[in-house]
A and B are shown apart, each in its own frame.
Chain A
């Protein structure tokens, strides 16, 4: 059973050597880097942008929702739960017409903002769930000591929530890096192209150069593989908390 389930991922790791000699494989990478290099850079920029935007917006909101009793807070939490159910294609459709009017089609800013629509609700719910468990004594003590809400937020809440912030940021990065839907609908490929769209167009040109495609695929998979090794703990934490909590 394990063997069977692992087989696809095993086949995935050795696609080039199975059909191409070693020299050919390197050739594929060279080609991939030459044609997809700029796309990889675009994707990194977009993914990092999404991480920053999501955390900057989500962290303060989570603090308010978790620790300060704000009227209407539960309504916002409910709204954030519901919007996660909205299919991406509908968001893409809707954002396309809006972005068209704002001139945000084909812009990094537009894509970051679009990706953030998916990552912010998740980040808020995850961070809120964590910050609720931060003991009140900690924050109340800092307030008694004369720290305002901002001081408390920056010097107590943020440092304590470091792990949750890493998880939320990680998921934002992974989502934006892997995003294909917004990338293919909100860009035309004229000024830049995220890596996912690059692979898609690569595959779409029927003269299937599988060697090059697989090399690109491997390059695009690197962040996932690295994160799996380095941050598996956070990945599992995010997976389970996103599903079971709230």
Chain B
């Protein structure tokens, strides 16, 4: 056995290089064909006057950075950026806050806890279009559940989706609801990794529930919160389905974000060049945050290894 082992090893290793590559080849080819090529094409498109006609004639005159200039000069640009920021920040703060509260709540074991926790996964599993449609129904000014409730407690009906002031809070509310399970599951996992003995020791030293959370749980949970927030940021920036179904970017662009605007430019106004330009701006933003995430993830891994 000791003699036999090295012999076959040398053989496969040489032609093994090709076999190993053969295993990898489909994935590499896929990345090149379905990421590399389209994204390169997208950059090219963003410098062209690409319209519906271009699909038939194959001609799209080169216009340099004119698309970017047009996008930046468009008053909708600042609206879309502001909405994206508000949407992302609003969603993150509440998703995380509520997710964390629920995670702490479920960290204690009690009968039915597991069942409740799995029920809470449902919003995440539902197709976003379904959640969006249901929320749109609940927001309905005359027949919706929300206004029925607000009438019950004596507050007047809120024109959720037809007023420019309420539409953005409405989509943020929807997105918060959708994002809670993700935060809950990850933070719950993080909480369980904290040894119970630390809590017990703190309790023996006379720390109350809040002090235990503040001085034991919170610091130890930090690596996980970093990852959850970073991932949430990256996901929320590109949210599309929710806004599209609930408001479609309206009323009067009150909920237009960079994603829905890019969609609108390309598939509604058929200004594919400008749509591509907005998309590339979005890529830059997402990658910037993504690299931050990777850095923090790496730091966390290093911390865990140390």
Contact = CB atoms under 8 A, between A and B. Distances in A.
Nearest to B125: A224
Contacts of A124: 27
B145 A87 contact: no
Interface string B116-152: 1011111111111111011011101001010000000
A172 interface: no
B-side binding surface: helix, strand, loop or mixed?
helix
Given A93-B276, A120-B27, A236-B185, A210 B121 contact: no
Contacts of B45: 93-94, 97
Contacts of B286: 85-87
Contacts of B5: 144
Interface string B229-262: 0010010011011001100100000000001001
Interface in B202-251: 224, 227-228, 231, 234, 237-238, 240-241, 244-245, 248
Give the contact-size bracket for chain A: 35 or more
29 contacts: A6-B116, A12-B134, A15-B134, A57-B26, A60-B27, A61-B28, A70-B21, A85-B234, A87-B279, A87-B282, A89-B282, A95-B34, A97-B42, A116-B30, A117-B34, A120-B30, A143-B12, A144-B8, A199-B245, A200-B129, A200-B244, A203-B133, A217-B133, A217-B134, A221-B130, A224-B122, A228-B121, A244-B189, A244-B224
A213 B41 CA distance: 38
Interface in B266-306: 266-267, 272, 275-276, 279-280, 282-283, 286-287, 289-290, 294, 297
Contacts of B101: 1
B105 interface: yes
Contacts of B76: none
Contacts of B8: 143-144, 146
B233 to A, nearest CB: 10
Given A5-B102, A143-B8, A196-B241, 14 more contacts: A15-B137, A58-B27, A61-B26, A61-B27, A69-B20, A89-B279, A98-B41, A116-B30, A117-B34, A120-B30, A178-B130, A185-B266, A199-B129, A244-B189
A73 B290 CA distance: 20
A205 B280 CA distance: 32
Interface residues of B, number: 90
A93 B8 CA distance: 50
Contacts of B126: 178, 221, 224
A243 B228 contact: yes
Contacts, number: 258
Interface of B: 4-5, 8-9, 12, 16, 19-24, 26-28, 30-31, 34-35, 37-39, 41-42, 45, 50, 55, 98, 101-102, 105, 116, 118-131, 133-134, 136-138, 140, 143, 145, 177, 180, 182, 185-186, 189, 224, 227-228, 231, 234, 237-238, 240-241, 244-245, 248, 259, 262-263, 266-267, 272, 275-276, 279-280, 282-283, 286-287, 289-290, 294, 297
Nearest to B5: A144
A9 B262 CA distance: 31
A232 interface: yes
A217 B290 contact: no
Contact of B119 (A9, A92, A178, A200): A9
Contact of A85 (B27, B42, B287): B287
A6 B117 CA distance: 10
A149 B12 contact: yes
A5 B34 contact: no
Given A89-B259, A221-B127, A244-B189, A210 B23 contact: no
B114 to A, nearest CB: 9
Nearest to A81: B294
A64 B20 contact: yes
A87 B287 CA distance: 10
Interface string A142-161: 01101011100100000000
Interface string A1-43: 1100110110110010011000000000000000000000000
